[in-house]
């Protein structure tokens, strides 16, 4: 900060408070449903917070939900015998620990408590997202000269994506490298020794957090917390297919494939979001560099690696042990012959969506080569005459 900026701030008492107020708070989230809270009965207020959608817009409402099970757990540990409390912390950490692996890694099996874990972390992501948007990312956008509310929102969305994928990508790669036989995309190990129901602790945590993140992102789209673009229908289809893959692969003990797919998608999303962020900041040279990197990374991860996975499903499926090619969910085996098509279909649909966006990348590249203009091909699906909030 320059000395002039510091003097300007000192001349304006309450600057920080006004900045938080002007740049959004947890009570003015976009399109948040308004509730008449005056003289509202206590039980009705609790019902609204816990079972309404306030927590998707309002970080303080999400925080209250996050703290509720913690307070309840503390009360239980104070008044209930310890042996009755063993399962409750499972909404915070992976549950159903089993015998450690021969290498000494902690291992876990699936559990119905995993549903509670995912639901809890959906609320956690809602709290994190809205807090970052209201108090850090939107003020940052304005600080760097972005004035239009539409672009302020876009900047916040893409920066939030960068933060998440910069954590999920290395964590997924580390999990594959450290705990799984599939490093580096040794696809035959997707099938050998199936069913893979004994999950390394890091893999189970990674998988369930990813499930929570994408569930929350689907809710963001459904509630239109992000203003729809021209590819809104494709994004909804992408999120539906992604959730199908996540929950079905987890149920049928195909987490080795799921981990590989997560990595291919998340790594490329880092470069996509970074390129778009620099576009909103009008940093043309940096944007162009990241777009070039995006083009290469996208081609390698979302097409080459994904096509390798599809090839493996079609040609290496029979590496599953013969005794496991049966429908016995109680034993963890789901891989009857027709499951080959059930696994292949959603990944193929995902590949078609990737091809659609790949075409948009090519269009942007060709336009940049012939007109020296490199922009996001996905236009905002809004009425031109709509009055922008804050303008």
Q: HSE on the CB side for 383, CA within 13 Å?
A: 4
pLDDT of residue 226: 84
Cβ-proximal residues to 384 (8 Å cutoff; 6+ apart), any chain: none
Structure-token pair, residue 324 = 């496991």
Helix H segments across 180-283? 201-222, 232-251, 255-280
pTM for the structure as a whole: 0.84
pLDDT of residue 90: 66
Rg of the chain over Cα atoms, rounded to whole angstroms, equals 24
Taking alpha carbons only, the member of 42, 72, 36, 73 closest to residue 54 is 36
Interhelix angle 284-298/339-371, nearest 10 degrees: 150
The answer to whether the CB of 29 falls within 8 A of the CB of 134 is: yes
Strands 199-200 and 107-108: antiparallel
pLDDT of residue 210: 98
3-class state of residue 169 by DSSP: helix
Query: Is the Cα torsion angle 360, 365, 366, 368 positive or negative in sign?
Result: positive
* CA–CA distance, 362 with 108 (Å, rounded to integer): 44
3-class state of residue 199 by DSSP: strand
Domain spans of the chain, in order of start: 34-86, 97-371
Taking alpha carbons only, the member of 98, 118, 117, 263 closest to residue 197 is 98
The answer to whether the CB of 130 falls within 8 A of the CB of 55 is: no
Report in angstroms the alpha-carbon separations of 360 from 231, 355, 378: 10, 9, 8
Dihedral-angle region of residue 372 (phi above 0 means left; psi in -120 to 50 means alpha; beta otherwise): left
Q: Show pLDDT as tens, one digit a residue, over the chain (391 residues).
A: 444 444 444 444 443 344 444 444 444 445 455 545 556 666 566 556 556 788 999 999 999 999 988 888 788 778 877 666 555 556 777 888 999 998 889 999 999 999 999 999 999 999 999 999 999 999 999 999 999 999 999 999 999 999 999 999 999 999 999 999 999 999 999 999 999 999 999 999 999 999 999 999 999 999 888 888 888 999 999 999 999 999 999 999 999 999 999 999 999 999 999 999 999 999 988 998 999 999 999 999 999 999 999 999 999 999 999 999 999 999 999 999 999 999 999 999 999 999 999 999 999 888 877 765 666 655 554 433 333 333 3
Structure-token pair, residue 264 = 């291919």
3-class state of residue 202 by DSSP: helix
Report in angstroms the alpha-carbon separations of 79 from 146, 244, 313: 54, 41, 52
pLDDT of residue 42: 61
* CA–CA distance, 207 with 145 (Å, rounded to integer): 38
pLDDT of residue 213: 98
Taking alpha carbons only, the member of 332, 325, 349 closest to residue 255 is 332
The answer to whether the CB of 96 falls within 8 A of the CB of 110 is: yes
pLDDT of residue 373: 61
The answer to whether the CB of 367 falls within 8 A of the CB of 281 is: no
What angle is formed at CA 225 by the lines to CA 222 and CA 228, rounded to 5 degrees?
75
């Amino acid at each position: 900060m320059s000395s002039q900026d510091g003097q300007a701030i000192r001349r304006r008492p309450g600057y920080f408070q006004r900045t938080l107020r002007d740049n959004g708070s947890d009570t003015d989230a976009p399109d948040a449903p308004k509730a008449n809270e005056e003289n509202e009965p206590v039980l009705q207020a609790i019902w609204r917070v816990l079972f309404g959608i306030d927590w998707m817009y309002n970080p303080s409402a999400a925080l209250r939900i996050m703290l509720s099970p913690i307070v309840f757990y503390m009360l239980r540990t104070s008044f209930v015998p310890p042996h009755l409390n063993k399962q409750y912390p499972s909404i915070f950490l992976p549950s159903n620990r089993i015998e450690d692996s021969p290498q000494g890694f902690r291992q876990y099996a699936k559990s119905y408590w995993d549903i509670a874990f995912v639901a809890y972390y959906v609320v956690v992501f809602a709290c994190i997202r809205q807090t970052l948007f209201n108090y850090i990312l939107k003020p940052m956008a304005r600080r760097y000269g972005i004035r239009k509310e539409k672009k302020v929102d876009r900047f916040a969305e893409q920066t939030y994506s960068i933060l998440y994928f910069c954590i999920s990508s290395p964590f997924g790669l580390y999990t594959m490298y450290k705990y799984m036989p599939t490093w580096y995309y040794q696809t035959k190990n997707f099938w050998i020794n199936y069913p893979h129901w004994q999950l390394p602790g890091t893999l189970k945590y990674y998988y369930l957090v990813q499930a929570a993140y994408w569930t929350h992102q689907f809710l963001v789209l459904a509630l239109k917390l992000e203003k729809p673009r021209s590819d809104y229908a494709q994004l909804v289809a992408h999120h539906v297919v992604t959730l199908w893959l996540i929950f079905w692969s987890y149920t049928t003990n195909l987490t080795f494939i799921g981990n590989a797919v997560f990595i291919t998608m998340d790594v490329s999303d880092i470069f996509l979001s970074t390129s778009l962020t620099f576009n909103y900041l009008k940093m043309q040279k940096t944007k162009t560099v990241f777009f070039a990197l995006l083009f290469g990374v996208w081609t390698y991860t979302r097409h080459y690696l994904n096509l390798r996975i599809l090839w493996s499903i079609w040609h290496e499926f029979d590496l599953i042990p013969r005794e496991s090619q049966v429908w016995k969910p109680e034993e963890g085996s789901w891989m009857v012959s027709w499951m080959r098509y059930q696994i292949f279909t959603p990944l193929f649909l995902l590949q078609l969506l990737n091809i659609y966006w790949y075409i948009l990348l090519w269009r942007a590249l060709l336009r940049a080569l012939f007109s020296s203009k490199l922009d996001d091909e996905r236009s905002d699906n809004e009425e031109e005459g709509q009055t922008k909030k804050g303008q």
